[in-house]
Structure 1
Amino acid sequence: MEIDLAFIWAGLIAVAVLAYVILDGFDLGVGILFPFYPEEHDRNLMMNSIAPVWDGNETWLVLGGGGLLAVFPLAYATIMPALYAPLIAMLLALIFRGVAFEFRWRTKRGKFLWDWAFAGGSLVATFAQGVALGALVQGIKVENRAYAGGWWDWLTPFSLLTGAALVVGYALLGSTWLVMKTAGDIQAKARLQARLTGIGTLGLIGAVSLWTPFQNLVYLERWFAWPAMLYSGIVPVLVLLCAFLLFTGLAGKRDYVPFLASLGIFVLCYIGIGISFYPYMVPPSLTIWDAAAPDDSLGFLLVGTVFLLPMILGYTAYAYWVFRGKVDPDEGYH
């Protein structure tokens, strides 16, 4: 039986992107919430809650982006010119955020500047990711295997909506992370923010979900045509179940449940995007197999990935295990 290497690699890239979204999503969310916690003690505690894992979380962005270049070069060459502006904004924001993470501990007089760099970098990076996602969902113009659109095709009402939705969604992840990792007043405030961002996230998911099928007739058929709606309809039902667990967990003061439920919402939304996209790598023109590198290259790279991926999973799991539990207010990154 012939192995479909392009399909395997599409799955690996999809897993890497999902891992980035759910892992870096909560620490970006903590940065988005930063301005709402003016006390320095609270801000230090928030940063200490993500200090052991934030840079490791971004490994998945490198793996996803680097993997796309290596194994789907045509997709990379098409997506990049279409989304240069939001992707460059995202990378610059992540740089500012990373530098601020280190430098805010090194100064007292200029700490407020690095606080704003951390919060602003988190917000801009998240919004740019959402805009890029919206632009990809609405479709990229391709002619003769090259990008054929304009400079501003990525900027539409739909992409702005997806950008706003991701900001609120990451804020939900950040607030439920703080519920899980902190105690006392900061946890109580985070619990309230989780309720508000949870309502906002569900409302924006509904708006994006209703708008998405009308971006492309293929999407419409995947979600509303019979019998496809039998399996695609399971996704919104499970989202509602996760929403129920989120709000009951917050009300019942079960610290871990809201975070796991919010992760579930993101995973299900990602599955929903996969249902709409498959088998396209760049909707509506390039499929997985159109965009893939030659099988020899895919096979060679897969051998290395078989060894690399377990290592990444191993040290990521180990870091989360070592730093499990509540953050100690008397110890920290500094």
Structure 2
Amino acid sequence: MGVDTALIWAVIILIGVMLYVIADGFDLGVGLLFPFVPSEGHRNRMMASVAPIWDGNETWLVLGGAGLMAAFPLAYAVVLSALYLPIVLMLIGLILRGVAFEARAKSSDHSRHLWDKAFFGGSLMASFFQGVILGAYISGIDVQDGRFAGGPLDWVSSFSLFCGAALTAAYALLGSTWLILKTDGYLQYRMRDLTKPLVWLLSVFIFAVSIWTPLAHEAIAERWFSLPNLYWLTPLPVLTALTCLLLLRSVEYGEAMPFVMTLVVMTLGFLGLGISLWPNVIPPSISIWQASSPASSQGFALVGALLIMPIILTYSAWSYYVFRGKVKAEDGYH
């Protein structure tokens, strides 16, 4: 029996996207929280908490995109055609955020507030449009004869905009719990204060999306609520609810635990998304096998992916280890 290279590539891309959402999510969240921390010194600490690692976090986004192009070219062509505008807007946000990150350190006291606003605006754009892309992807893409057959604004819907707001809240929660871990004193207290309402807000978003999605898509409802699937899948939402409660309890005194619990919530949400859509790479009906490139091409690219992934994991883990511990007031980020 031959190796199912399409399945292996699907797993690699899923892992890459999940790691991007988790890793880049908290540094986008730090930018989202800028308006809630007006002090210049505290904003410097917030920047310093992500400065050594934020560039490396986006490696996973590149890996996911490159993997999709190499392994599932049909999906790459259709998804980019359908979601071209929100993807461009997301990239503009990332560019604006990156420029603001660097320019802020060199700016004068008089102009620094402009770069603070740019950093927040870029973080908001990137976060919101990533959620919009996700919502539009879940809603399904019209494909005919192997091509995108919809219009340029098909991605605009109440569900996709709602998902944009939901992912923004999730990233803000990742950012606040990251700062609980990395800071102390007033800034940590402020993050604890912000985290509690963010947990409740994200819980409402998770509940709403969990109800909205099966109501809008019969196939997803069948996946979750038919027997015996219901017995096997019920523990997932129950575990998500319990994790949110543990997160709330840990906010008052925990340091690492709030961030860990937030990571668990994000992972469970990603797992639920995967269960809902599997095995389709272009919802609602094109599977990973229908969209895959020839097995020989996938196998060739797989060798490179299996070589590069351990390197990425190693330098990422080393960066987090080297820059572990609290960020102090005197620490700069350049």
Q: TM-score range by the shorter chain?
A: over 0.9
Query: Relative to structure 2, which stretch is displaced further, 204-213 or 232-241?
Result: 232-241
| CA distance in 1 between partners of 2:221 and 2:44 (Å) | 47
Q: Is 2:152 the partner of 1:151?
A: yes
Q: Is the 8 A contact 2:128 2:167 kept in 1?
A: yes
Secondary structure in 1 matching 2:329: coil
Match of 2:77 in 1: 77
Secondary structure in 2 matching 1:149: coil
Q: How do 1:250-269 and structure 2 match up within 5 A?
A: 250-251=251-252, 253-269=253-269
| CA distance in 2 between partners of 1:85 and 1:232 (Å) | 35
Match of 1:197 in 2: 198
Secondary structure in 1 matching 2:189: helix
Return the TM-score normalized by structure 1. 0.98
Q: How do 1:9-20 and structure 2 match up within 5 A?
A: 9-20=9-20
| CA distance in 1 between partners of 2:60 and 2:320 (Å) | 15
Q: How far does residue 306 in structure 1 lie from its aligned partner after superposition?
A: 1.4
Amino acid of the structure 2 residue aligned with 1:87: I
State the Cα deviation string for residues 11-47 of structure 1 (Å, max 9, x = none).
Answer: 0000000000000000000100111111100100000
Match of 1:245 in 2: 246
Match of 2:326 in 1: 326
Match of 2:173 in 1: 172
Query: Relative to structure 2, which stretch is displaced further, 213-222 or 98-107?
Result: 213-222
Match of 1:279 in 2: 279
State the Cα deviation string for residues 165-197 of structure 1 (Å, max 9, x = none).
Answer: 001111100000011100011100100111010
Aligned-pair identity (%): 51
Q: How far does residue 285 in structure 1 lie from its aligned partner after superposition?
A: 2.4
Q: How far does residue 233 in structure 1 lie from its aligned partner after superposition?
A: 1.2
Amino acid of the structure 1 residue aligned with 2:210: S
Q: How far does residue 143 in structure 1 lie from its aligned partner after superposition?
A: 0.7
| CA distance in 1 between partners of 2:169 and 2:331 (Å) | 30
CA RMSD, 1 decimal: 0.8
Q: Is 2:16 the partner of 1:28?
A: no
Match of 2:100 in 1: 100
Q: How far does residue 254 in structure 1 lie from its aligned partner after superposition?
A: 1.2
Q: How far does residue 214 in structure 1 lie from its aligned partner after superposition?
A: 2.1
Equivalent pairs, count: 333
Q: How do 1:215-226 and structure 2 match up within 5 A?
A: 215-226=216-227
Q: Is the 8 A contact 2:223 2:276 kept in 1?
A: yes
Q: Is the 8 A contact 1:75 1:281 kept in 2?
A: yes
Match of 1:305 in 2: 305
Q: How far does residue 215 in structure 1 lie from its aligned partner after superposition?
A: 2.6
Q: How far does residue 236 in structure 1 lie from its aligned partner after superposition?
A: 0.6
| CA distance in 1 between partners of 2:172 and 2:79 (Å) | 27
Amino acid of the structure 2 residue aligned with 1:21: V
| CA distance in 1 between partners of 2:169 and 2:149 (Å) | 32
Q: Is the 8 A contact 2:42 2:329 kept in 1?
A: no
Q: Is the 8 A contact 1:232 1:275 kept in 2?
A: no
Secondary structure in 2 matching 1:38: coil
Q: Is the 8 A contact 1:222 1:232 kept in 2?
A: no
Match of 1:181 in 2: 182
Secondary structure in 2 matching 1:291: coil
| CA distance in 1 between partners of 2:80 and 2:215 (Å) | 24
Q: How far does residue 325 in structure 1 lie from its aligned partner after superposition?
A: 1.2
| CA distance in 2 between partners of 1:207 and 1:67 (Å) | 31
Write out the 4+ residue segments of structure 1 that deviate beyond 3 Å after TM superposition: none
Secondary structure in 1 matching 2:281: strand
Match of 1:118 in 2: 119
Return the TM-score normalized by structure 2. 0.98
| CA distance in 1 between partners of 2:278 and 2:147 (Å) | 20
Q: Is the 8 A contact 1:250 1:258 kept in 2?
A: yes
Secondary structure in 2 matching 1:105: helix
Amino acid of the structure 1 residue aligned with 2:161: L
Q: Is 2:96 the partner of 1:88?
A: no
Give structure 1 stretches of 5+ with no counterpart.
none
Amino acid of the structure 1 residue aligned with 2:241: L
Match of 1:317 in 2: 317
